[in-house]
Chains A and B, each alone.
Chain A
Amino acid sequence: MTQVELQEKANLPAHGEQPKVTHWREYFSFSTDHKVIGIQYLVTTFIFYLIGGVLATAVRTELATPESDFVAPDVYNSLFTVHATVMIFLWIVPAGTGGFGNYLVPLLIGARDMAFPRLNAIAFWIIPPAGLLLLSSFLVGAPGAGWTSYPPLSVVSGKPGEAIWILSVLILGTSSILAAINFLVTIWKMRTPGMGWNQMPLFCWAMLATSALALIATPVLAGALILLSFDLLVGTSFFNPTGGGDPIVYQHLFWFYSHPAVYIMILPFFGMISEILPVHARKPIFGYKAIAYSSLAISFLGLIVWAHHMFTSGTPAWLRMFFMITTMVIAVPTGIKVFSWLATIWGGKLRLNSAMLFAMGFISMFVIGGISGVMVAAVPFDIHVHDTYFVVAHLHYVLFGGSVFGIYAGFYHWFPKMTGRMLNETWGKVHFVLMLVGFNMAFLPMHKLGLEGMNRRIASYDPKFTTLNVICTVGAYILAVSTIPFIVNACWSWIAGPKAPDNPWQGLTLEWMTTSPPPPENFEKDPVLATGPYDYGMGDRRTQVEVPLDEPRNPVLAAGPDSVLRADPDPAVAAHPDDRQGESHNR
């Protein structure tokens, strides 16, 4: 019996009733079902992605020619400021954590819902008003001081848009903290009997690390924004040098959140890639514990590197040295992940479907962004390329090449589970190719532009940069067009795509052990772990443990001999489920 059959048989429902499917009206209501909330997050944030994309296209149109002729310079400032804010706070962060996190975490750990369903719904429902609030700033004078909103520029420009920016980011931060509380308690307390920390799917490890970061870093941003709003609205001078204040303190507080924020934006996708690769490579994940614990290492290191954004802000040399070294050290746990992924697909029987293509695109693009990240971590190099397009290229390779490719990989992988329908593979591949070409055309030339000294955040530039900028702009348009096959494919398949089986990819994690889409409570009973989450291709090993599948269904871990998840004949693991939860699951 293969692992898939073993796992599925272990989780057969006790009686053969057809489960209820979530009604479509539920998606437009204040539902407390984590799956509904997850999809609400994904659809809402995708709409904001399209809005952010329109703003980005406007930015690139302006930059197609050296002269500032498409929009006025201050409109240009607003365009890139709102573009960045929307993409970060309304797309990548909420899509990765709120969208996929909400949908997947309870399913992956075999829980019926999140720990605090109503809190979960609230965390989602404050996002659309905050997003609309941010966009409404265009009516009264949109913020134009960049997504960092550095004082004194953001204060002296004094537009109402800056106040709106602060308020909407505070609301979005609140949502992020509420979601983090929910994830931490859910993963901590609600794993199915028999699922110890080291039997937990890697996405949950990633969400654990992400939530811890969000919980620790986001409130500090709130503190900084409270002080900034006093400067802006009441006339204090926390960050105004003429009143004795210090703008550098704002930068420290801001980056104490915003550097970890890049890990809040990428860690969930690290987790998702770790789920997708073994399924489509039909191999056990390489280095389970290394991948799991490197997430924690990344989030710890992520908290102590913020000042690398401030190498040119008058930071003393000894401090720059500290931040340079800690920043470069992050490449170690990140490299551990990348090499583990490569070792996972090495020699595997790859299924090159859309999800796998996007996952491999994610690794390739993220590695380019990671390498340029190590480059800018070096103080002398950073001083050279500071505030140039090199930095723009780096951050887009990490956040677009990483996060957005990751979102799509997850989307193609879990679409059958979410909707009960299969996506069209051909259109998925067209989407992938267009996006890969458009993305690299748009952002690869920016490395050269930056090295040659083209400044970011300025609407006009030296005519010698024209050719490369035209290539970037054409790439941006291709990137914009690449969204169309995706939207058409997703909408059409959701309504009329072929019906998806419960486990179309023959996965071993628990979300595939329920129906597609899952019924409102996910599982009839606590699901049973018949294998480790990544024990692909281990079925023929002679030491495979036979799992008793008759009632009562004791969870038995039947990991293969080479799996890091393999359960040794340890009484603590093999005993009755009630005895096996230890302190982590107080039932």
Chain B
Amino acid sequence: MQGSTIDPAKTALNYHHNSEATVEAHGVEHHDFRIQGLIVFLIAEGMIFVGLFTAYLAFRAVAPSWPPEGTPKLELLLPGINTLILISSSFVIHNADTAIKKNDVAGLRTWFAATALMGAIFLGGQIYEYTHLEFGLSTNLFASTFYVLTGFHGLHVLLGLGAMIAVLWRSLKPGHYSSEHHFGVEAAEIYWHFVDIVWIILFTILYLI
């Protein structure tokens, strides 16, 4: 069993866990391709953002002025700090991976909790920014794309937080994660890096250029 709470014995036709019964029945060990699956999944996720970014750039390219006249200027301080926090959290979460590879579950919990906290601060900052902006969702095209892009990214941050809480919850069970079996940890980390990379691109095209 690798990082899953579902008992293979209860899913009649689930062959993809290295339970001794399946190995015995077939003489072959079944392999775990979930990391590959996750990578392929993130390509698809990335393509949604590519579509949205392309739409933003296309709107911008054909608009007579951008952002449309009368749009209040975006403050850079708060999102800048937010960006720094999110980028740092990618380094923080990497320590969790290092910890679990040394069988250090307490370290895993500490680093995951720290990352989740940083993610929560990021989300809080984003909500604070939303409430203080002087334009609404349908004020103009810039405002609409701004909210949809940052909001869609925020949703991904929230999902990442959910994944981290799930890992923390599971890590309470002794022996659930070990240096051998830590797919959940790795998946959450890879996903978090993905969210981070998307934010860097998003921050650049929305705020900087």
List residues of A whose CB falls within 8 A of some B CB. Answer: 31-33, 112-113, 115-119, 177, 180-182, 184-185, 188-190, 215-224, 226-227, 230, 234-238, 243-246, 249, 252-253, 256, 520-521, 524-526, 586-587
- As a 0/1 sequence over residues 23 to 50 of chain B, the CB contacts with chain A under 8 angstroms (1 = contact) are 0001111110110110011011111111
| Interface hit among B57-65, B83-91, B184-192, B194-202 | B57-65
User: How many pairs, one residue from A and one from B, have CB atoms within 8 Å of each other in the complex?
Assistant: 137
- Check if B148 sits within 8 Å of A244, measured CB to CB: no
- Check if A116 sits within 8 Å of B37, measured CB to CB: yes
In the bound complex, CA of A285 to CA of B156 (Å):
47
| Interface hit among B96-104, B105-113, B137-145 | B137-145
Distance (whole angstroms) from the CB of B130 to the closest CB of chain A: 15
* Residue in B closest to A30 when the chains form the complex, CB atoms: B11
- Check if B37 sits within 8 Å of A243, measured CB to CB: no
Residues of A within 8 A of B50 (CB): 219-220, 223
- Check if A215 sits within 8 Å of B62, measured CB to CB: no
Known: A181-B40, A219-B44, A230-B144. A117 touches B138 (CB 8 A): no
Distance (whole angstroms) from the CB of B48 to the closest CB of chain A: 4
Residues of B within 8 A of A219 (CB): 44-48, 50-51
- Check if A181 sits within 8 Å of B55, measured CB to CB: no
A interface, by DSSP: helix, strand, loop or mixed?
helix
Residues of A within 8 A of B54 (CB): 220, 252-253
Task: Find B47's partner among A215, A524, A586 (CB 8 Å cutoff).
Answer: A215
In the bound complex, CA of A182 to CA of B36 (Å):
10
Residues of B within 8 A of A525 (CB): 26-28
Residues of B within 8 A of A112 (CB): 15, 26, 30
Known: A185-B37, A218-B44, A236-B138. A249 touches B15 (CB 8 A): no
- Check if B36 sits within 8 Å of A117, measured CB to CB: no
Residues of B within 8 A of A520 (CB): 13
16 contacts between A and B (CB under 8 A): A112-B30, A113-B13, A113-B15, A115-B16, A116-B33, A118-B11, A180-B40, A181-B44, A219-B48, A220-B47, A221-B51, A223-B48, A230-B144, A243-B138, A244-B68, A253-B54
- Check if B44 sits within 8 Å of A224, measured CB to CB: no
**A116-B34, A181-B41, A224-B55 given. 19 additional CB < 8 A pairs?**
A32-B11, A112-B15, A115-B33, A115-B36, A117-B14, A177-B41, A185-B40, A188-B36, A217-B47, A218-B44, A220-B48, A220-B51, A223-B48, A226-B52, A227-B52, A243-B141, A244-B63, A244-B68, A587-B28
Tell me if B128 is interfacial: C-beta within 8 Å of chain A.
no
Task: Find B55's partner among A31, A177, A217, A238 (CB 8 Å cutoff).
Answer: A238
Known: A118-B11, A220-B51. A185 touches B33 (CB 8 A): yes
Tell me if B207 is interfacial: C-beta within 8 Å of chain A.
no
In the bound complex, CA of A307 to CA of B63 (Å):
21
Residues of B within 8 A of A115 (CB): 16, 33, 36-37
